[in-house]
Amino acid sequence: MQLLVWLGSITVGIIVMAIVLSYVTPLTLMRGARSLAFSLSGFTRKRVHAGGVDFSYCEAGRGDTVLLLHGFGAAKDTWLTYARTLTPKFRVVIPDLPGFGESGFDPAIRYGYAEQVARLRAFVEALDLPKLHLAGNSMGGAIAGIYAASYPSTIHTLVLMDCGAVEMPHPSDFWKMVMVGENALIVKKLEDVDTLLDYCFVRKPPLSGLAKRVFTADCVPRVVSNEKVFADILADGQALEACLTKIETPTLIMWGAQDRVLDRSIVGVLEQHLRNHKTVVYEGCGHLPYIEAPQKSARDHLKFILAHQSNAS
């Protein structure tokens, strides 16, 4: 799903890329587009060392902090469009989770949920964020939920968007593939890009042949790290489900109705165990509502935060 990083960057960088196309390598091209995307987004890229990780993150806005966590194979860049709905009222902080993006990968350490939650806690403390609004998609949603269960007094509100590490009453197409040793979220060759798009999106973004080649060139060096991280989180099973009853935070469940990665039947499990929740399901969306419906999903998130701020006051 590193494709998500690239998709957000390529739109704003397309003109520049066309001009320099004959002079640079595909990876240089994509990095330039990504840098341009950040420069136009209003977000500032920063680094901090915490929990043994050199975290890369970005931030924009002022006020109470909203912390956004990406999913498996993605990175901080994927949230930029969604986040711009929040920055007029909040400070938004988006890290590359350890093992992804620009935060680096160490094959000697474990990337299971407990370890990632501990590293996220170190990151939050390094930025001196005593209390925040937390949201995550997919793997990031599982990390967010476990974090909220572990540190309940530090979270104002929680968003679980198409989150993992919960029992799936109706196994998804993706999960059926995983059970036979295949992973549609890890791109190893050019042909895998279309498979990834099919699993993650209802409305597949149109990509040219060049776009797919550039994206593949970025993915291939990450195969080993992605396989390692996936194996670690897979070994942790239903780690989020095990602590759902400990979550006291007001929680917004957001789900793509046509999610082929994590089936929407998970929503019922979440609703059964969470004490204080609201659910929004997005028709015409797959695994990534914040990409397919960024304005709608971000507005729902904003309304949820503001409603609970009013209740608190």
| Rounded distance between C-alpha atoms, residue 298 and residue 313, angstroms | 23
Instruction: Evaluate if residue 21 carries a pLDDT over 80.
Output: no
Which CATH number goes with the domain that contains 177? 3.40.50.1820
Asked, for residue 21, whether it belongs to a domain, the answer is no
86: in domain = yes
Give how far Cα 81 sits from Cα of 4, 78, 108, 214, Å.
Answer: 12, 8, 34, 22
- Please check the confidence at residue 138 and state whether its pLDDT lies above 80: yes
Q: With the C-alpha atoms ordered 99, 26, 78, 92, is the resulting torsion angle positive or negative?
A: positive
- Does some domain include residue 204? yes
In a domain, 72, yes or no: yes
Residue 23 in any domain: the answer is no
Owning domain of residue 288: 46-312
pLDDT of residue 25: 57
pTM here?
Answer: 0.91
**3-state DSSP call for residue 284?**
coil
Percent of the chain with pLDDT over 90: 82
pLDDT recorded at residue 2: 54
- Looking at the structure of the chain, the number of domains it has is 1
Residue 37: predicted pLDDT? 74
Model confidence pLDDT, tens digit, residues 25-80: 556 666 666 677 777 789 999 999 999 999 999 999 999 999 999 999 999 999 99
Tell whether 83 is covered by a domain.
Answer: yes
Residue closest to 8 by CA, chosen among 38, 28, 29:
38
In a domain, 157, yes or no: yes
